[in-house]
Amino acid sequence: MFTKKLFTQIIGFVAIGFFAVACVENKAKEAEINEDIVPVQVAKVSQETVNEQVITSGLLSSSTEARLSFKMGGIIEKIYVKEGQSVSKGQLLAVLNQTEINAQVTQALESMNKSERDLNRITNLYKDSVATLEQYQNVNTAYTVAKQGVDIAKFNQNYTEIRAVANGKILKKLMNEGEFAAAGAPLFLMNGSASQDWVIRVGLADRDWAKINLGDKAKVSFDAYPDEVFEGTVTQLAQAADPMSGTFQVEVSVNPKNTRFASGLIASVEVTPSNVKAKTIIPIEALVESNGKSGIVYTIDENKIAKKLNITIARLVEGKVVVTSGLENVNQVVTAGSPYLVEGKKVVIK
């Protein structure tokens, strides 16, 4: 038999049950709504000038550094200088044994004299109509060739010696007296250090070569002088790649101030390009995927809908991404929450 009190309790329990069910249903609906909206954070797409220093290394040398050699091959007769010796322009450094070249000159002279006698004889015969025009022309040609042979032999005879091309210093002596020197094989490495015109020659990849221009400033440091930084300037840019290495040679002149330099010092060079343009920059956190130069980011349209964009990446610089294309007319990109996004997903910006 139900009492009034018991009835009241039953009614209370039922009300509580209905209330609990309603709460669960409301939470389920709220969860369903929240599942369709992804909270994200965004960052602006900016136009910035980024740090694009070109860092490389090379060896110190003189702009007048030269490898001196004989034009003709032969036995080295005499070497007049030693390594480290200072020389003046035009000074005789070495000579070849001239026995062979003198014989070649004599042969060329005798050949020319014979051709000249033949020419005189055939000329008289041609005037008397005894020799034909063809015979006269052939002998005349032979004489001309023999005469040019003498010029060649005498020219080579003049280059059986090596003379200094400038005031400077002999850095290396690569052969000794009595050795056979092939034509064009270096005998001396000479540095025109008297002018104090010191340069560093470096090989750059095409991407770095394209960044710099003549006159760009550089900072130069040497292992030999770790506490000093020297001023440098780009003075030459190669217009063709080295066929062996595939790099472009760049020459940086460096001011020694009052420091003692020597050819062969190892140098670190940091060139600052002067012609720097603003680049499209986004935070690296905005990248969802990347594969080489290709990447994917998300942006948010005016209806708070996620939109996937394919971008082209130039490079990564100090935690930022330099973008060359794909962000035209885009003001912001998603930096947090993007792993949970798909095209067309509703978002809320936190």
- 99-159: CATH superfamily: Helix hairpin bin (1.10.287.470)
Please state, in angstroms and rounded to a whole number, the distance separating the CA atoms of residues 261 and 267. Answer: 11
For the chain, give every domain's residue range. 38-51+278-349, 54-63+191-272, 99-159
Which residues on adjacent β-strands are paired with residue 163? 92
Q: In what order do the strands lie in the sheet with 279-283?
A: 46-48, 279-283, 320-325, 306-317, 294-300, 289-291
| Mean pLDDT rounded to a whole number for the chain | 81
Which pLDDT score is estimated for 309?
A: 83
Residues 32-60 as b/e (b if ≥16 CB within 10 A, e otherwise) read: eeeeeebebebeebeeeeeebebebebeb
Which residues on adjacent β-strands are paired with residue 305? 346
Q: Which amino acid is at 319?
A: G
Please report, rounded to a whole number, the percentage of residues in the chain having pLDDT higher than 70: 88
- The Cβ of residue 160 has, within 10 Å, a number of other Cβ atoms equal to 19
**pTM score, two decimals?**
0.52
Span 303-311, mean pLDDT?
84
Residue located via tokens 């020197």: 181
* Fold type of domain 54-63+191-272: Elongation Factor Tu (Ef-tu); domain 3 (2.40.30)
Span 310-318, mean pLDDT?
81
Q: Give CA angle at 170 (165, 172), nearest 5°.
A: 125
Nearest to 40 by CA among 342, 343, 308, 340: 340
**Fold equal for 38-51+278-349 and 54-63+191-272:** no
Domain 38-51+278-349 has CATH 3.30.70.100: no
Q: Is the pLDDT of residue 22 over 80?
A: no
